[in-house]
Amino acid sequence: MRGAALRVAEPASAYAVASDGELDPYRLAQLVSDMKLTPEQRVLAAEETLHQVGPLRPRRHQVLAFDRYEDFLDWKKFSAIRP
């Protein structure tokens, strides 16, 4: 295969969802639907849900800066599980 370009193909779905009978069909359908969204769209949808439900704890006044969007997402994920 000298000179021929190698092609890398990704599966149609970036995430495989196994149906092993443990998930309710409606929950499985919701997971498949959510996985079709981009990571940013999933974050925005989660923030909208939180906005409708209300804050889980009192807000602190602070200013944060992040070098990358992924750092922001990590902070959001871990700040939600800290007491």
Whole-number Å distance between alpha carbons of 15 and 26: 18
DSSP symbol at 57 = S
Instruction: Quote the pLDDT of residue 40.
Output: 92
For the stretch 61-82, pLDDT in tens is 888 899 999 999 998 888 776 6
Evaluate if residue 1 carries a pLDDT over 60.
no
| Between 8 and 75, residue with greater pLDDT | 75
Q: Give Rg (Cα) of the chain.
A: 19
Whole-number Å distance between alpha carbons of 1 and 14: 28
Confidence of residue 52 (pLDDT cuts 50, 70, 90): confident
Q: Which residue has the tokens 């149906």?
A: 19
Instruction: Quote the pLDDT of residue 63.
Output: 86
Whole-number Å distance between alpha carbons of 38 and 60: 29
AA letter at 56 = L
